[in-house]
Amino acid sequence: GAVVSQHPSWVICKSGTSVKIECRSLDFQATTMFWYRQFPKQSLMLMATSNEGSKATYEQGVEKDKFLINHASLTLSTLTVTSAHPEDSSFYICSALVGGASYNSPLHFGNGTRLTVT
């Protein structure tokens, strides 16, 4: 159980275009999802917290107008990288909280999306 599916697994786009990444919880409902970014040989950096039916909460230094997050249902959150540039090339990973807001709730992660902007 607790499977998180992320799509696509990799994407190549041209500079200036927008890319949408989907994150789905397959066998549970996720009120809260999280989006991370990871550069090569670095740790995961939390970008934003996505709550179903409300605006996402972005971490300091993350541009909300560039990284649009939509969490329209309890099983789907999307991250859209708008006007992508080569420096946005990274590994984007989503995660979902099982069991609601509790310190005793593990996060389950998708397998990530490798974005390359040319």
Partner 1 sequence: DAKTTQPPSMDCAEGRAANLPCNHSTISGNEYVYWYRQIHSQGPQYIIHGLKNNETNEMASLIITEDRKSSTLILPHATLRDTAVYYCIGLGTGNQFYFGTGTSLTVIP
Name the residues that contact partner 1, by CB under 8 A: 4, 6, 32, 34, 36, 43-46, 49, 57, 91, 93, 95, 97, 101-112, 114
Min dist CB 16 to partner 1, Å, is: 26
Q: Cβ-count burial of 50 within 10 angstroms (0-12 exposed, 13-18 middle, 19+ buried)? A: buried
**What's the angle, vertex CA 47, arms to CA 39 and CA 36, rounded to 5?**
50
Helices (H), the chain: none
Judged by CB, which is closer to partner 1: 55, or 83? Answer: 55
Min dist CB 1 to partner 1, Å, is: 12
Phi (first) and psi of residue 34, to 5 degrees: -125, 145
Judged by CB, which is closer to partner 1: 46, or 72? Answer: 46
